[in-house]
């Protein structure tokens, strides 16, 4: 549905590269006639499905999946004061049903706290009902006035995973926060995307939360992309919505809550972090096609090769590998280009010489070539896919490390922020943060930085010189 | 989350039974604070997921999955005159983003023709792009003013599968209609739900279609439930949205289109058609739990039995069976009641005597008891699940056949419609249909009836006596 006739912009021009690869690799079509709403092409949607299957499998270990309505009555939506303030500028309102105005306006969920918690108040009666851990994958809506961009800043977030848990105590909810952060780590490791976790400053937390932990990736241009948040809600919402339980002593207590969200930005991270000048580089965990087989037909042995390719495809399929054969009558270069653009992790070539030598020539998406015996092909292919995954993770880690800087003065920080993320020391006060942000045109993303790539040490505040702690500074998407 | 303390209403009081079983078997919670919007409990959502996985697997044979935006600009929505007329009373309109009115109002899709077809116009260029066959599973919205009911008549249809195809000619589109009807037959056979296909009268077709084929099930009270439709759209929409292709002769032609829809009413049919006084009866194809193992612990051999049960569970799981063990310390009767209410197809009991005799006592949801050897348990269990499926299909077919009547006068028809569906002969004119509907307080559902249960013969019109064809008359949900 999208043409491949011209070359991609180089990845060093990241913004242009991203927009073009989204189109040419058939992830999304941006021509839908409303700003900020995009159409998933079948290939993009398959990538989306594999990614969310991975996420669901992780969540299903201790959550159950559910589904709540999209429409939230104004009366519920307006109950939590901080929450309203955080969202009032960006909520879409349904005001009419057919030709008649509605009695109560309905919000399109920007997030589902106010849809879910009135039901939690009905469902939770006693400590035996706790913990309650549910999630849903839904479309949510934000009336974005800024520049929109597929998968990154949208008006319809088509694939928002939101988990909502209730616990007996603040500490138990806090353990859940840690657990969800661990899930994020596992999820992004499976996607080969290195992440940095930090605690957002108090003024940047989720409206109605005690605190917010955020997960950031670093894109090739050095800008950060928030690709997950875990909020400790304390009892803000349980007090507003009356989520109480009878404890073991027969007393009524308010539940302590967390929520946790991952949107299709996780796919933007996969695309952005792993690509190259040829197009997508997909981890095998989520690639719609993991292996493409290319019959190399020279001379008269065409039928023989096609039969061998068919056998191989069948064998790999039976082993659970997502494999396609490209037997189209076109020059190999154009085929390679097509599958590289779509990020297919492994290409297997089979020609007359391979047939004679009982071997397969395998080339992974990073260009690493391996010749393996035809016997036990599925096993070898699986091993090569695992190795390819390790290689793209390593490549992404190298990239992240090379874009992580430190700075001790605002000038140094400003200079290094061009294409990088910077770790500074900060005393913790809002004034210093505001000043730093103003001087460097950046955001103080967070403290309590957790990342194998960042030293979480102490030092003099970059602004006031008082004792400070490591803080992450970046320019964000 | 729902209590099971009292008995269900008898299934003979179908409406009361349905509402109660939806709640007690934890399908949906109806207490969400907006009329016609419901919350899926995790158990109901698991049933929903298995059902849609079945449907997706059928569709994926020749369709690709995709996803289009929920919001349709008024400018696109208003392009097809008949289509607007059909939906203007029931469309929800988004008029505000944040605190500002929108320039162009946005409709919440009631169905997606007007969201999808502008993109098809961009995607389709030549005959080589055809046929195009895509589908999506999405939430759609109808501002229902009638009595709402979970899964049957909702304001947010949470799980609408809509397929949209484009073909070079009307005849090829017509072949696709036949193909989709075949898919429906296969899908509902997998759900054990017998169906009747018919062609809706011209005045009852989809707004903008050449004709509409509908799939109906018959509920226990004799009322029909429309659980699928396939529309031949001809070139109505392709002319409106400019979906053209260059044919082999280099001439521009309009595409010919079909669309096909199945909503969560398919789950209402499963619940309605198969239940009994004890609760749900689920086909194993979609049951969240296919087998429940109940350890029968009497005397001192508790540990030994629990270990044997654990082994059995592991073995069945490894064979791909969705199995749970209920080792709760409560009386067996209460356990049986719980799993019967939730429709689990097979209960396996394992006590000291079974251990000694190396056997398992299996009781299916219809009460059929079979003792099988412990050896090769997975194989036996699979066979019993298949047999149970045949039994519930047969039971449903018997029910349908006993509720299918014929009539030759309006009086007879009216009388028999009480609890049944009636086949009459009809000349085909609107006047006679209107008169019959008025006299019998029913709907003329369709002609060209296709069903192994209905004789599609000819005879004198029930109203005017002129030559007529078989037509289905019923009272619908």
CB–CB of A95 and B90 under 8 A?
Answer: no
**What is the spatial distance between Cα A67 and Cα B39, in angstroms, rounded to a whole number?**
6
Given a cut of 70, is residue B1 above it in pLDDT?
Answer: no
- Residue pLDDT, tens place only, B121-160: 999 999 999 999 999 999 999 999 889 999 999 999 999 9
Tell me which of A161 and A99 has the higher pLDDT: A161
Beta bridge partners of B371: B361
Band (pLDDT 50/70/90 cuts) for residue A342 is very high
Band (pLDDT 50/70/90 cuts) for residue B435 is very high
Band (pLDDT 50/70/90 cuts) for residue A6 is low
How many interface pairs between A and B have CB atoms less than 8 angstroms apart?
151
Out of B115, B123, B158, the one facing A67 most closely (by C-beta) is B158
DSSP line for A226-249 = EEEEEEEEETHHHHHHT-EEE-TT
A40 touches B: beta carbon within 8 Å? yes
A108 contacts: CB under 8 Å, gap ≥ 6: A70, A71, A72, A91, A92, A93, A94, A140, A141, B94
pLDDT of residue A145: 87
CA distance, residue A68 to nearest chain B CA (Å): 5
B90 touches A: beta carbon within 8 Å? yes
CA distance, residue B431 to nearest chain A CA (Å): 30
Provide the chain A residues 137-156 that lie in CB contact (below 8 A) with chain B.
139, 143, 145, 155-156
**B223 in Cβ contact with B476 (< 8 Å):** yes
B408 touches A: beta carbon within 8 Å? no
Smallest CA–CA distance from A97 into chain B, residue = B92
CB–CB of B89 and A99 under 8 A?
Answer: yes
CA neighbor of A395 nearest in space, from A361, A363, A365 = A365
Task: Enter the CATH code of domain B291-385.
Answer: 3.40.50.800
DSSP tag of A108: E
B52 touches A: beta carbon within 8 Å? no
Neighboring chain B residues of A45 at a CB cutoff of 8 Å: 64-67
Given a cut of 90, is residue A2 above it in pLDDT?
Answer: no
B95 touches A: beta carbon within 8 Å? yes
- Residue pLDDT, tens place only, B49-101: 999 999 999 999 999 999 999 999 999 999 877 788 888 899 999 999 999 99
A78 touches B: beta carbon within 8 Å? no
Whole-number percent of chain B with pLDDT over 90: 91
pLDDT of residue A399: 95
Band (pLDDT 50/70/90 cuts) for residue A451 is confident
pLDDT of residue B4: 57
Coil vs helix vs strand at A341: helix
- Residue pLDDT, tens place only, B180-200: 999 999 999 999 999 999 999
- Residue pLDDT, tens place only, B275-285: 999 999 999 99
Interface test with B, best of A71, A126, A267 (most B CBs within 10 A): A71
Residue ranges of domains in chain A: 14-274, 291-387, 404-474
B68 touches A: beta carbon within 8 Å? yes
A123 contacts: CB under 8 Å, gap ≥ 6: A129, A132, B1, B29
Q: What is the largest CA-CA distance in chain B?
A: 85
Task: Enter the CATH code of domain A14-274.
Answer: 3.30.930.10
User: What's the first-to-final CA gap in chain B, in angstroms?
Assistant: 28
A65 touches B: beta carbon within 8 Å? yes
> Which stretch of A174-178, A300-304, B436-440 has the lowest confidence by average pLDDT?
A300-304
In terms of residues, how long is chain B? 477
Q: Do B14-274 and B291-385 fold alike per CATH?
A: no
Which residue is it, tokens 């493409």?
A292
Given a cut of 70, is residue B179 above it in pLDDT?
Answer: yes
* For range B356-383, the mean pLDDT: 98
CATH 3.90.1150.200 fits A291-387, yes or no: no
User: The tokens of B6 are what?
Assistant: 């009292």
DSSP tag of B88: T
* For range A333-352, the mean pLDDT: 96
For the beta carbon of residue B3, count every other beta carbon within 10 angstroms: 7
**What is the spatial distance between Cα A370 and Cα A382, in angstroms, rounded to a whole number?**
13
Q: Cβ-count burial of A435 within 10 angstroms (0-12 exposed, 13-18 middle, 19+ buried)? A: middle
Out of B46, B69, B89, the one facing A37 most closely (by C-beta) is B69
- Average model confidence (pLDDT) for chain A? 95
Given a cut of 60, is residue B5 above it in pLDDT?
Answer: no
User: The tokens of A311 are what?
Assistant: 């056998």
Hey, what long-range contacts does A175-182 have (CB within 8 A, 24 or more apart)? A176/A131, A176/A133, A176/A258, A177/A213, A177/A230, A177/A232, A177/A258, A179/A62, A180/A230, A180/A258, A180/A260, A181/A213, A181/A215, A181/A230, A181/A450
pLDDT of residue A113: 95
- Average model confidence (pLDDT) for chain B? 95
* For range A322-333, the mean pLDDT: 93
Given a cut of 90, is residue B210 above it in pLDDT?
Answer: yes
CA neighbor of B432 nearest in space, from B211, A262, A294, B424 = B424
CA neighbor of A133 nearest in space, from A158, A168, A107 = A168
Beta bridge partners of A258: A165, A232
User: What's the first-to-final CA gap in chain A, in angstroms?
Assistant: 28
Neighboring chain A residues of B42 at a CB cutoff of 8 Å: 64-66, 134
Band (pLDDT 50/70/90 cuts) for residue B331 is confident
CA distance, residue A124 to nearest chain B CA (Å): 8
> Which stretch of A423-427, B4-8, B18-22 has the lowest confidence by average pLDDT?
B4-8
A462 touches B: beta carbon within 8 Å? no
pLDDT of residue A3: 52
**What is the spatial distance between Cα A188 and Cα A195, in angstroms, rounded to a whole number?**
7
pLDDT of residue B299: 78
**What is the spatial distance between Cα B170 and Cα B153, in angstroms, rounded to a whole number?**
33
CA angle, residues A18, A22, A28, in degrees to nearest 5:
145
pLDDT of residue A467: 97
Task: Enter the CATH code of domain B404-474.
Answer: 3.30.110.30
pLDDT of residue B365: 98
Whole-number percent of chain B with pLDDT over 70: 99
Neighboring chain A residues of B33 at a CB cutoff of 8 Å: 73, 75-76, 118
* Interface predicted TM-score (ipTM) of this complex, two decimals: 0.95
CA distance, residue B37 to nearest chain A CA (Å): 6
* For range B428-442, the mean pLDDT: 97
Whole-number percent of chain A with pLDDT over 90: 91
**What is the spatial distance between Cα B176 and Cα B121, in angstroms, rounded to a whole number?**
20
Given a cut of 80, is residue A5 above it in pLDDT?
Answer: no
- Residue pLDDT, tens place only, A214-233: 999 999 999 999 999 999 99
């Amino acid at each position: 549905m999208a043409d491949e006739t011209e070359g991609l912009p180089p990845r060093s021009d990241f913004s242009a590269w991203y927009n073009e690869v989204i189109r040419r690799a058939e992830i999304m079509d941006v021509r839908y006639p409303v700003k900020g709403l995009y159409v998933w092409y079948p290939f993009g949607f398959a990538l989306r499905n594999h990614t969310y299957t991975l996420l669901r499998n992780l969540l299903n270990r201790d959550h159950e999946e559910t589904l709540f309505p999209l429409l939230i009555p104004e009366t519920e939506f307006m109950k939590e004061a901080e929450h309203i303030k955080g969202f009032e500028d960006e909520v879409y309102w349904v005001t009419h049903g057919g030709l008649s105005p509605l009695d109560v306006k309905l919000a399109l969920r920007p997030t589902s706290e106010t849809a879910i918690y009135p039901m939690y108040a009905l469902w939770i009666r006693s400590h035996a009902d706790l913990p309650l851990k549910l999630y849903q994958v839904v479309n949510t809506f934000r009336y974005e006035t800024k520049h929109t961009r597929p998968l990154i800043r949208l008006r319809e977030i088509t694939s928002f995973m939101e988990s909502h848990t209730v616990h007996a105590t603040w500490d138990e909810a806090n353990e859940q926060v840690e657990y969800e952060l661990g899930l994020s780590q596992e999820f992004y490791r499976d996607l080969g995307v290195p992440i940095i976790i930090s605690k957002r400053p108090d003024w940047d937390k989720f409206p109605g939360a005690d605190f917010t932990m955020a997960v950031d990736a670093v894109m090739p241009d050095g800008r950060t992309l928030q690709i997950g948040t875990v909020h400790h809600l304390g009892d803000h919402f349980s007090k507003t919505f009356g989520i109480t339980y009878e404890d073991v002593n027969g007393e009524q207590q308010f539940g302590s809550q967390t929520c946790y969200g991952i949107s299709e930005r996780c796919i933007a991270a996969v695309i952005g972090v792993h690509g190259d000048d040829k197009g997508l580089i997909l981890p095998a965990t989520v690639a719609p096609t993991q292996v493409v087989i290319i019959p190399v037909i020279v001379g008269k042995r065409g039928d023989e090769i096609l039969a061998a390719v068919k056998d191989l495809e069948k064998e790999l399929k039976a082993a659970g590998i997502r494999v396609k054969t490209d037997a189209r009558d076109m020059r190999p270069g154009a085929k390679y280009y097509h599958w590289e653009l779509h990020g297919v992790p492994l290409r297997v070539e089979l020609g007359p010489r391979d047939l004679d030598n009982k071997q397969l020539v395998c080339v992974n998406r990073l260009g690493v070539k391996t010749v393996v015996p035809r016997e036990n092909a599925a096993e070898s292919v699986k091993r090569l896919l695992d190795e390819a995954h390790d290689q793209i993770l390593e490549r992404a880690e190298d990239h992240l490390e090379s874009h992580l800087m430190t700075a001790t003065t605002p000038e140094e920080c400003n200079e290094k922020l061009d294409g990088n993320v910077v770790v500074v020391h900060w005393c913790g006060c809002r004034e210093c943060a505001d000043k730093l942000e103003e001087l460097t045109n950046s955001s103080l993303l967070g403290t309590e930085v957790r990342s194998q790539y960042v030293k979480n040490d102490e030092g003099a505040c970059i602004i006031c010189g008082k004792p400070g702690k490591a803080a992450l500074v970046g320019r964000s998407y």
